Amino acid sequence: MALAGIGVDMVEIARMEKVLERRPNFVKRVFTKAERAYCDRLARPAQHYAARFAAREAVLKALGTGFSQGIGLTDVSVANNDAGRPEVVLVGRAQEVAHELGIREVALSISYTHDVAVANAVAMTDEVRPRKEERPDPKEELRASFRAARSVIDELERVEEQREYEAEGDQDEATE
């Protein structure tokens, strides 16, 4: 089994514009309700539909399946996270295939020019998936630094007390 799969696809925006004009049902058949709402509210809907179609193809190439093995047209879609970054949404058979392959994440990049939309997808298993840096809790780091400082202060006080005790002992011996 591969540790990662890579897929790239390009769609001509003018071609998507023609499809949208000639086949009005295409949009409902191929894109999810959320995708349609996103694309239709933008100035150049065809550009965004083309990008999302390219993303589907790129993801399916990364999974190594294409539209086969029972994967439907809307089993792969694109959503935008809170920051506006495109994210892959897998449902149905596409999700099952990804699970069977051990795919934990599909990273996606979408770009377009005036003429072409392009999408790149990388399907990753746990073995190659980037790991978040494990950083200690800042509060715990602060507590630990205070404990260390307290330990140093305690040791300094102990040494000072020891010196004072020895100095008193030296004075007692001198007076005897």
DSSP string, the chain: --SEEEEEEEEEHHHHHHHHHH-THHHHHHS-HHHHHHHHTSS-HHHHHHHHHHHHHHHHHHHT-SS-TT--TTSEEEEE-TTS-EEEEE-HHHHHHHHHTTEEEEEEEEEE-SSEEEEEEEEEETTTSPPPP----HHHHHHHHHHHHHHHHHHHHHHHHHHHHHHHHHHHHHH-
Residues 44 and 120 occupy one common structural domain: yes
Report the pLDDT averaged over residues 66-86. Answer: 89
Identity of the highest mean pLDDT range in 32-36, 71-75, 150-154, 164-168:
32-36
Calpha distance 117→104 (Å, rounded): 26
Q: Tell me which residue range forms the domain holding 173.
A: 135-176
Residues 9 and 70 occupy one common structural domain: yes
Report the pLDDT averaged over residues 123-149. Answer: 76
Residues 108 and 55 occupy one common structural domain: yes
Residues 19 and 92 occupy one common structural domain: yes
Report the pLDDT averaged over residues 134-152. Answer: 78
Residues 113 and 52 occupy one common structural domain: yes
Q: Give the residue with greater pLDDT, 134 vs 123.
A: 123
Please tell me the predicted confidence (pLDDT) of residue 1.
47
The torsion defined by the Cα of 75, 77, 79 and 85, in degrees rounded to 10, comes to 130
Provide the number of structural domains found in the chain.
Answer: 2
Q: How many CB atoms lie within 10 A of CB 50?
A: 29
Residues 17 and 67 occupy one common structural domain: yes
Please tell me the predicted confidence (pLDDT) of residue 14.
97
Report the pLDDT averaged over residues 7-21. Answer: 96
Cβ contact 54:117 at 8 Å: yes
pLDDT at 132 over 70: no
Structure confidence by residue, pLDDT tens digits, 25-46: 999 999 999 999 999 999 999 9
